[in-house]
Amino acid sequence: MAGEIIKVSGLVHRYGDFEAVRGISFAVEQGEVFSFLGPNGAGKSTAINVLTTLLRIQHGSARVAGFDVATEPARVRESIGIVFQEVTLDRDMTCWEILEFHGCLYRMPYGERRKRIEELLAVVELDAKRDTLTKHLSGGMKRRLEIARGLMTRPKVLFLDEPTIGLDPQTRRRMWDYIKAVNEEGTTIFLTTHYMDEADQLSDRISIIDHGQIIATGRGWDLKNRLAEDVIYLETSDNGRSKEIVGAMDGVTEVKEKTNGFVALVNQDGTHLLPRIMDEIRGQGIRIVTVNLKKPSMDDVFVHFTGRNLRDERAERPSAAIARAGRR
């Protein structure tokens, strides 16, 4: 049964006077991995909380797994799994108990529940920790346990709110593999992230969200292509003049200043255009110091669509993210 498994239109959510979600509409296809990519405070978690019925929907409409979140919240809850942004594990229960509790909450029959717990403990490699209290788990183990919990009931849609926040690169990669494997088994995945690479690697489609609004939606490569075919970076002995020269050339859509040089966004194959650009600059007696040609990254896409960097680089170093996740 293909089709739209999540359908949102005109969703608005206010906290008091503050509009956190400002009229978003989108649809997620059955079997897709769909991402909300956006900076802190963009409204990602708020949107997830509405879709998962934790917040009552205020304006607009939303259907999840065929049910209306406003009128059939119980049916929606039966069909979904959630991994919250913050850790939501009872510190004083064991891994096994966490999963057993969850299975019971969803009224899974005894045999199926016990079998599923064993499977999942193996999948997230927590077999050896089954009788360990969750307060004695590492951050990554907790996250894995929560993902396992989200998968207990084989939900139709799995919501993951920043699933890899605070994880080391290696564990993040393993998480991605789990998530992909789950998706291949047929679960639709809705995830939020502010990691470019995560959105890029994991999702079929991405919506860039900022200040409560969706700014662009599409496949990763599609968004990048919409921005540019290639990105060319140059440092020269006279950046000011070179910029003008390059900006006037055919195929160059935009030129942007950088600290020691500038970048040119080009809408044709950069491998052919770059030599011409270099000839042109040299022809004016300017020396070229550095050249670089690359495909646009999600970072470039984000800067392009929002007009700003995704995050304040200093505040969001991985160590800061870990500290934040640990503090919760």
Ligand X SMILES: Nc1ncnc2c1ncn2[C@@H]1O[C@H](COP(=O)(O)OP(=O)(O)OP(=O)(O)O)[C@@H](O)[C@H]1O
Binding mask 183-202 for ligand X (x = CB under 6 A): -----------x--------
Q: Is 45 in the site for Mg ion (CB under 5 A)?
A: yes
To ligand X, the closest distance from the beta carbon of 228 in angstroms equals: 27
Instruction: Report the partner that residue 89 touches, choosing among Mg ion, another protein, ligand X, none (CB closer than 5 to 8 A by kind).
Output: another protein
Q: Is 142 in the site for another protein (CB under 8 A)?
A: no
Report the alpha-carbon distance of residue 208 to residue 205 in Å, rounded.
10
CA atoms lying within 13 Å on the CB side of residue 115:
6
Query: Candidates 95-103, 211-219, 259-267, 268-276 — which segment interacts with another protein by CB under 8 A?
Result: 95-103
Q: Is 52 in the site for ligand X (CB under 6 A)?
A: no
Q: Is 267 in the site for Mg ion (CB under 5 A)?
A: no
Q: Is 89 in the site for another protein (CB under 8 A)?
A: yes
Q: Residue 137: is it exposed, middle or buried by C-beta count within 10 angstroms (0-12/13-18/19+)?
A: buried
The answer to whether the CB of 45 falls within 8 A of the CB of 123 is no
Give the residue, chosen from 9, 10, 15, 118, that forms a contact with ligand X under the rule CB under 6 A. Answer: 15
Instruction: Report the partner that residue 93 touches, choosing among Mg ion, ligand X, another protein, none (CB closer than 5 to 8 A by kind).
Output: another protein
To Mg ion, the closest distance from the beta carbon of 316 in angstroms equals: 13
User: Which of 139, 140, 104 lies closest to 124, judged by CA?
Assistant: 140
Give the residue, chosen from 30, 61, 79, 85, that forms a contact with Mg ion under the rule CB under 5 A. Answer: 85
Give the nearer residue to another protein in terms of CB position, either 4 or 78. 78
* Residue whose pair of structure tokens reads 């949107």 in the numeric block: 47
The answer to whether the CB of 57 falls within 8 A of the CB of 73 is no
Residue spans of beta strands (DSSP E) within the chain: 4-15, 18-29, 33-37, 59-64, 67-68, 80-83, 157-161, 188-193, 205-210, 213-218, 230-236, 252-257, 262-266, 288-294
Which residues contact Mg ion by CB under 5 A?
Answer: 44-45, 85
